[in-house]
Structure 1
Amino acid sequence: MSAPQVSNDTFAVCDLELNQVSIVGIVRGFTPFVTNMQYSVDDMTGPPLCVKQWLNEEDWSLTSVPPGTYVKVIGSLRNFSGQRSVLAMNIRCIKDLNEITSHMLEVVQAHMLLFEKVLKGLRESSLKVKPKHPDRPQVVLSSIAHKPSRYGVWGLVYKNTNLLRSCVLAEGISLQDLKSQLDYLSMRDIRASLVFLVNEGHIFSTIDEHHFKSAEH
């Protein structure tokens, strides 16, 4: 859902063009139309995704997938009037729950392969940037920092984690300090990554809801 759209119906993750994608989730509902069936599929990573399956006369004799059913969807990502959906080539009901675990492992493996080069570059080609204020923590930024939109929220989380770890102040680092050090990012993106880090237990708020510190200290 956060993959940048590089052209009409073309999306990318880490400069890798998305072609065919697979999704495993629960059908939350469906709506029949004259030429297609639209499903609401929830894979637990965000809001339910709209999945469209075009139908011909022979397909109308098939029974639609009822809500509460686990399915695997194979299709391509589309953007119509600002709403993203998956144009399904195949929708299959999952009968063996081991498929869900297998899909999770595939997602983790794909994530590791996609971001391996990004994180490697972050470690090897990092540049030390002098702090704007001597009493504030020094920030380490990478050469990929100038293209945050191409790397998604995980890149933001990784950079924010480094910033928070480097802070030695008792009250932690303030939201405004984070914004000044990451001035190429929007406040919305910074807040989103902070929410993720708090929910995962990596950081916590200190004197108020605008100051944060790493839980690893």
Structure 2
Amino acid sequence: MALSSLGGDTIFVPNRISSAGNIVHVSCSQINRLTTKENGLIMFHQRIHSIITIGIVQNIQEFFRRNIYTIDDYTGTSIDVHLYKNDIEDDVGFPIPNVSVNNYIEVIGLARMNENKSFIVAFRVRMIKNPNEITKHFLNVIRESMLLEKRMNITTKTIKQPDEQKLDSIEFPDYDPNDLSQREQIVFEIIKKYGNGMFGISREDIHNHLNHMNPIDIDNSISFLLAELLIFNTIDNHTFKSYD
């Protein structure tokens, strides 16, 4: 068990960071404060695989293989968004947006850190045309943060401990792929093989590749792989990539 301190009490939490599973709305401040190099974005002891954020474009750098958008949502410091454009097939579905400085954009992607600076690797960038979307986004940021906190509290218990109690670190478990069942291994291999594009592979395509398997078994295997942090969602809850 790992320990963390909160308000003078000591909270026991499982010695692992669980998966939040879904795409989570976050602010630029949360990304900058809570992203780690080893584990990505961690909120309330839960690793966030994919994020949605909205910000105003302050600067645009265009390169051959990527664009870098510097955005700010006025919750803290600005953050860079890296949108790669070397996957022609993916660009057909989600083309590089025609945005300018002072436009608001929505970003779906992964929070990462390099050289102590947080940034976003974007799967998709979309220009915001309706200002109501900005308000809705920040309401979702608050609501989903509260849900993550509630989920953490449900799975922890508060007890008193001596002040000299040393705090253990929270680490990801090492998962042995040999522990996968044959069905889970087959689904995992399909995701690794065909999910190497920018957005990964859709649930429908996984089913199409495995049309000889029971669809319920496929979906159960996907759920298991998500829970064990072997795969993660990208642009929605039905599109997946492998960490490998």
Q: 1:5 to 1:96 in 2, by over 3 A?
A: same
Q: Which residue of 2 aligns with 1:5?
A: 36
Pairwise CA distance, 1:62:
5.4
How far residue 20 of structure 1 moved from its aligned partner, in angstroms, is 0.5
Listed one character per residue, the Cα deviations across residues 140-170 of structure 1 (whole Å, up to 9, x for unaligned) are: x9x9x957999xxxxxxxxxxxxxxxxxxxx
Equivalent residue in structure 2 for 1:22, among 35, 40, 52: 52
Which of 116, 120, 136 is residue 102 of structure 1 equivalent to?
Answer: 136
Name structure 1 gaps, 5 residues minimum: 130-140, 151-217
| Alpha-carbon distance in 1 for matches of 2:52, 2:154 | 27
Tell me by how many angstroms 1:56 deviates. Answer: 3.2
Q: 1:115 to 1:55 in 2, by over 3 A?
A: same
Q: 1:95 to 1:63 in 2, by over 3 A?
A: closer
Deviation at 1:18, TM superposition (A): 1.3
CA distance in 2, matches of 1:73, 1:10: 16
Specify the SS of the correspondent of 2:86. Answer: coil
Aligned-pair distance for 1:75?
0.5
User: Cα distance 1:100–1:62, how it changes in 2: closer, same or farther (>3 A)?
Assistant: closer
Query: How big is the shift at 1:2?
Result: 1.7
* Alignment-derived partner of residue 186 in structure 1: none
The alpha-carbon deviation at position 10 of structure 1 amounts to 3.2
Contact 1:19/1:76 (CA < 8 Å) preserved in 2?
yes
Gaps of 5+ in 2: 1-31, 172-244
Counterpart residue number, 1:113: 147
What amino acid maps onto 2:67 in structure 1?
A: M
How far the C-alpha of 1:45 sits from its partner, in A, is 1.4
Alpha-carbon contact 2:58-2:70 (below 8 Å) kept: yes
How much does 1:117 deviate?
5.2
Q: 2:158 aligns with which of 120, 125, 128?
A: 125
Which residue is equivalent to 1:37? 67
Equivalent AA in structure 2 for residue 54 of structure 1 = Y
Q: Which structure 1 residue ranges, 4+ long, deviate > 6 Å from structure 2? A: 119-122, 147-150
1:69: Cα distance to partner?
0.4
Q: 2:9 corresponds to which residue?
A: none
1:43 & 1:19 partners in 2: Cα distance?
Answer: 21
The one-letter code matched in structure 2 to 1:17 is R
RCO comparison, higher one (Cα < 8 Å, 6+): 2
Count residues with an aligned counterpart.
134
Residue identity opposite 1:114 in structure 2: L
Identity across aligned pairs (percent)? 24
Assess, with a 3 A threshold, how the Cα gap between structure 1 residues 80 and 21 changes in structure 2: closer, same or farther: same
Structure index of larger Rg: 1
The amino acid across from 1:5 in the alignment is T
Equivalent residue number for residue 227 of structure 2: none
SS at match of 1:95: coil
2:114 equivalent among 63, 73, 80: 80
CA-CA distance at 1:64 after TM superposition: 4.0
TM-score normalised over the length of structure 2: 0.46
Whether the aligned pair in 2 keeps the contact of 1:31 and 1:38 (CA below 8 Å) is yes
Q: Which residue of 49, 63, 74 maps to 2:79? A: 49
Rate the CA distance shift 1:79–1:62 in 2: closer, same or farther, 3 A. closer
